Amino acid sequence: MDLLPAFSKDVWSLLTTPGTEAYHPLNAPILLFELVGNLVLLIGSIVLTVLFFQKRRLVPILTISFLVFAFLFYVGDYFAARQLPAVASQADTESKLDLVGAFLVCAVAGPYFLVSRRVKETFVR
């Protein structure tokens, strides 16, 4: 779902004003949660990329933290959005696959960053 159009003045008003056809009391909190979570993921990605190329020692633990945060954010967002009737009525196999993918990335990359000799030799600064 493209999030930015929801923050235009007209759409925001339609979604968050009681009495309008698209109003639901959870629209505003869920949209703000998605905005903040996605901003944290964007900023985290940029910071991790810079630190990765600098070969900083913090990269492995920050990567694991980032992956866990991303997974928890996806889970929270999935269940929060399912509380909205407009979202709950849609078939949603893509979001479920995204959750499984995020879990698998955590399950594989997390241990790799913890125990890999190559990771330990690369990120030494």
- Measured at the CA of 103, the angle between CA 101 and CA 104, to 5 degrees, comes to 65
- As a whole number, the mean pLDDT across the chain is 90
Q: pTM for the whole thing?
A: 0.86
Sign of the CA dihedral with 73 first, then 79, 82, and 84 last: negative
In the chain, pLDDT over 70 holds for what percent of residues? 98
Give the residue among 49, 50, 70, 62 at the shortest CA–CA distance from 114.
62
pLDDT surpasses 70 at 1: no
Q: How many domains does the chain have?
A: 1
Residue 54: predicted pLDDT: 94
Distance CA 96, CA 68 (A): 17
Residue 125: predicted pLDDT: 64
Element (H, E) at 52: helix 27-53
User: Where in the sequence is the domain holding 53, given as residue range(s)?
Assistant: 4-122
C-alpha distances in Å from residue 81, one per residue of 30, 65, 78, 110: 7, 24, 5, 27
State pLDDT tens for residues 45-95: 999 999 999 999 999 999 999 999 999 999 999 999 889 887 877 777 888
